Structures are given as C-alpha cells and as structure tokens.
Amino acid sequence: MSRSSTDGGERAAAAGIVVVGNGMAGARLVSEIRARDRRVALTVFGAEPQQPYNRVLLSDVLAGATGPDQIGLVDPAWYDANDVDARLGVEVVRVDRDAKRVHASDGTVTPYDTLVLATGSTAFVPPIPGTEHGLPGGVVAFRTLEDCRAILAAADGARHAVVVGGGLLGIEAARGLAGRGLHVTVVHLAGHLMERQLDQGAGAVLARTLGRLGIRTLLGTSAKALRTGTGAGDARRVTAVELETGERLPADVVVLACGVRPEVRLARAAGLKVDRGVVVDETLRSVTDPDVRAIGECSQYGDTVYGLVAPAWEQATVLADLLTGADAAARFTGARQITRLKAAGVDLVAMGETHHGDDDPQVEVMRFADASRGTYKKVAIRDGRLVGAILLGETGTAGTLTQLYDRSGPLPSDRLSLLFPGMGGAQAADSPVRMPDAATVCHCNNVSKRQIRVCWENGARTADEVARRTRASTGCGGCRDALEGLVAWLDEQDSVTVG
C-alpha cells in the first residue's frame, strides 16, 4: 500500500514508527510490531521493489532448487490487511533528525516519532582493473534477488564461471552454478576456505569436497584483472579473469562474493555515531539520538556487527517488545553466532571459537577428520563448557552441540558423544522421543520442541503447516530435516495411540 502525499510532499499519515529497510530484519520487525499492536502508525520503506524475501535462500534459487516466488517473507496482501504503509521501491535519501522527518526518492517527506534503521549491508566490490567503468556484462556482485536473476541470465548457455571469494556466500554461489552444469573455479585470497568460520583442517576438507562436486579451488591468490571482449550490441562482456599468479581463467560468468559492508551512509549523513555499523545500546537505540533505533546488519552492539539472520530476528523481537510496550524490560545483550551451510553435497555447521589448536593449554580440543569421505569434526572445550565446534559432512550431533553452546550447559562425561551420533548424551538429545520439550529446534526463530508439539496438537499436521504457524525452518533452513522428523514422529505416536 502506498498512500498519497499532500501537495507539499508531506506524508498524510500520522507520525508513528518509520522503518527504513524492508529486508529480513526490517520485515520481521514490522510483522512483530503488528502482532503486538494494531493501532500504532507504521510505515516501512524498501529500496527493492519486490516484497521482502529470505536472502538466505538465494543460493537455493541459484541452484534451481527453489523458485524466486517461493522465498517471500510477507504475503503482498498482508500490508493492506494490517494497515501498514509499505513504500516498496522507494529509497529514503535523507533523515532530518531535527524535524523528525525522512525524505524519500519519490519526493515525499514522512514524519516519525521513532525511526528504525534496518538498511542491511551492501556487497563489497574490490577495485579490480576492468571494473573502473562499472561491471562488464557477465559480472555480478552477489547480494540481492536481482543479482541472483542476473547471475542466472548470465549462466544461461555459459560454460565457465569464476567465483571471486571463498566465504559462505561464495561457496553457495559456486555450488549453485556447478549444479547447473558450469565449470566453476573459486578464487580465494586466504589460505583456506571460509577462514572466518573454519580452521585450516576443515577448510582443506571442504575444498576436497567441492572438488568432488566439480568445483576447482585456488587459494592464496586474487583476481588481478577482468578481461573483456565485445558482446551483443557492442557491449563489454567478461571473457576471462587474470590472477596474481599470472594464470588466466576463462569466464563467461564472474560472481563477486568478496564480503559485505554495513549500509550506513544514511546514518552517517544524519550525524549518528557510526563505527562499522550504527552504534546502539541494549535497547537498540542509537547512542546519538534516543528517537533512532537500528537493527540487523547495519547496527553495531558493542564491538560486533551481526551478519546472520538469527541475531537480526532476535533484535527485531526485542525492539518490537520495547516499541509497543509489550515488554519494557526487553534487552538485546548479544547473540551467539552459528553458521550453517546446507547445499547439495555440502553440509556444514560452525559455531563459536573454531580456531583453537592443540597448543592452547586452556582449551581441550577434540578432532576427527576423514577427508576421503568429506568429514571433519571438531569441538573446543574450556572450563567444562563448549566454546566452539565444526561439523562438516556429518552433522548428526549438531542439535546437541548447538544446545550446549547456546546454554553453556554441562558436557556429557563421554566426550565422544559430542562428535558421533548415537553415543551417550548425543543420542538422548537428538532422538525426538527423548529430546526435552525446552530444546530449541529452530535457532533462527527460537522455536522449541514444545512449540512444535503444541502446534501439531492444534491441528498443524504437516511440516509446511507447522512452519507457517511457528516460522520454524523459515530462516536458514538448516533445521528442516529436524522439523520434518519431529512431525513424522508425532504422526507415528498418534497412529500408535489410536491403534
């Protein structure tokens, strides 16, 4: 819904809450606010023209496993039904904090009582020769749904693809393109893949796993230049990527996955305190202006900018409680970050402090590797508590480790149960019948086994219906198997009882 403005460009709507950014953080905040308060005036601006979507699932779209129309977060009719002024495809270009108004790209001016910045982040494009006059045809910085569509268009009929960047997004892009039959090479400056989340051993196993899937990995080097030729209509089009080593890689498609940067230009221009992100306190309030809040990838709490969906959604819940008065004591005091990569042939979970080696006397490290099978497992323990873990290739104890890490719970005496399912404590935690009701199944949305069971008892008899009602599995999707397993187990128990 886009309400008309007055002749002077002033928004006709009463001042209330204005949310700038309609991505995963902003869209979640809007829905959480409306779930608590249906009366407060609520306006949301989204620079992208389409309805908000799950950015985590873009790699599934790239791989062809999911359609672009299947990753939406909000039904288009929801805004009208819930009296939300949704300004899709309209960018906020200036914030006037003195007058408490935002100026938009369509010339309108909207007043606010509370302004929430949820502007997310933007893809970093390195200054590679060949990009001085914009990205040539076939080269895409992977971040948005439009980027995903551009990659798919470039990949149509292509043979060779180069992915610059071996982080999480780069690996997902490479797997998606390889699944479409392209010859894919990943070029990564660091000494091993996903160096922020994985240690060297896990990175080496991951590279070997990708190799079996037809993806070549080149480490410790970077793109020196993009080489171009003339395509249709005399347009520049990429033909190759030249590396610092001198090697030249043929390329019909180049995906730049070189990291992201918090989108803070609007905040900085408005005079808010910005470090890497907009600096906020535990109420998500800007330390500069009490009427401005910030959540998601553009915000910074303490020294941390959270780049994962679960912390952003946790922030949205806290802020909705505060802004509506549902819980005046709600606070965001930081979040544990758990990285999940689940693509065809690659299953990975990493959490906490993953880089500990055997030379740290304060940390107990357990490790198992079977590179031939693509398996790497590692746990790091300090003072009897789990402080980090990596599971690659075989993630049967992921639920157990996540719960122990989240809650800093005591570890089982049999440490092997942390690495291998079916042993000791891991069996009890991972079995639906023995899993405690309080166990968290979906960490993105903080959905427990009890909530799933209650939802099932209230008539949601399929995983899709439970997901719709509870939001379980609608974040990173890593818990989908667990959700389906719980629903199947509940169905089985019901049939046994009825019989």
Using left for φ > 0, alpha for ψ between -120 and 50, and beta otherwise, residue 359 falls in alpha
CB neighbourhood size of 167 (10 A) = 20
32-83: pLDDT as tens digits: 999 999 999 999 999 999 899 998 888 889 888 888 888 988 888 999 999 9
Spatial distance between the Cα atoms of 385 and 411, rounded to a whole number of angstroms: 6
Residue 358 reports pLDDT greater than 80: no
Angstrom CA distances, 284 to 23, 105, 118, 432, stand at: 17, 26, 11, 36
Which pLDDT does position 387 carry in this prediction? 95
Mean pLDDT, residues 21-39 taken together: 96
Residue 26 reports pLDDT greater than 50: yes
Residue 106 reports pLDDT greater than 50: yes
Which pLDDT does position 499 carry in this prediction? 42
Mean pLDDT, residues 119-145 taken together: 93
> By percentage, how much of the chain surpasses pLDDT 70?
92
- CB half-sphere exposure, 51, CA atoms < 13 A: 13
Residue 363 reports pLDDT greater than 90: yes
- CB half-sphere exposure, 251, CA atoms < 13 A: 32
**Edge-to-edge strand ranges of the sheet holding 183-188:** 139-141, 253-256, 160-164, 183-188, 215-219
Burial of 127 (0-12, 13-18, 19+ CB in 10 A): exposed
Spatial distance between the Cα atoms of 46 and 49, rounded to a whole number of angstroms: 7
Which candidate, 91, 88, 92, 93, places its Cα nearest to that of 73?
A: 88
419-449: pLDDT as tens digits: 997 655 444 444 565 567 777 788 788 788 8
Q: In 371-471, where do the E strands start and end?
A: 375-382, 385-392, 440-442, 447-448
Q: What is the pTM of this model?
A: 0.87
Residue 14 reports pLDDT greater than 80: no
Task: Give the highest mean pLDDT range of 48-52, 172-176, 292-296.
Answer: 292-296
pLDDT, mean over the chain:
89
Mean pLDDT, residues 15-26 taken together: 95
191-220: pLDDT as tens digits: 999 999 999 999 999 999 999 999 999 999
Angstrom CA distances, 360 to 165, 204, 229, stand at: 30, 22, 52
Is the distance from CB of 277 to CB of 298 less than 8 angstroms?
A: yes
Spatial distance between the Cα atoms of 482 and 108, rounded to a whole number of angstroms: 47
Is the distance from CB of 84 to CB of 34 less than 8 angstroms?
A: yes
Domains delineated in the chain: 17-121+261-324 (3.50.50.60), 139-258 (3.50.50.60), 353-419 (3.30.390), 431-499 (1.10.10.1100)
Mean pLDDT, residues 324-339 taken together: 94
Task: Give the highest mean pLDDT range of 55-69, 356-370, 371-385.
Answer: 371-385
Which pLDDT does position 494 carry in this prediction? 61
Close Cβ partners of 423 (under 8 Å, ≥ 6 residues apart): 414, 416, 417
Which pLDDT does position 426 carry in this prediction? 41
Spatial distance between the Cα atoms of 273 and 425, rounded to a whole number of angstroms: 47
Spatial distance between the Cα atoms of 497 and 499, rounded to a whole number of angstroms: 5
> By percentage, how much of the chain surpasses pLDDT 90?
65
380-412: pLDDT as tens digits: 999 999 999 999 999 888 888 988 898 888 898
| Per-residue buried b or exposed e for 130-156, using 16+ beta carbons within 10 Å of the residue's own CB | bbeeebbbbbbbbbbbebbebbbebbe
Is the distance from CB of 479 to CB of 312 less than 8 angstroms?
A: no
Which candidate, 408, 233, 425, places its Cα nearest to that of 336?
A: 408
238-289: pLDDT as tens digits: 999 999 999 999 999 999 999 999 999 999 999 999 999 999 999 999 999 9
Residue 24 reports pLDDT greater than 60: yes
Which pLDDT does position 450 carry in this prediction? 83
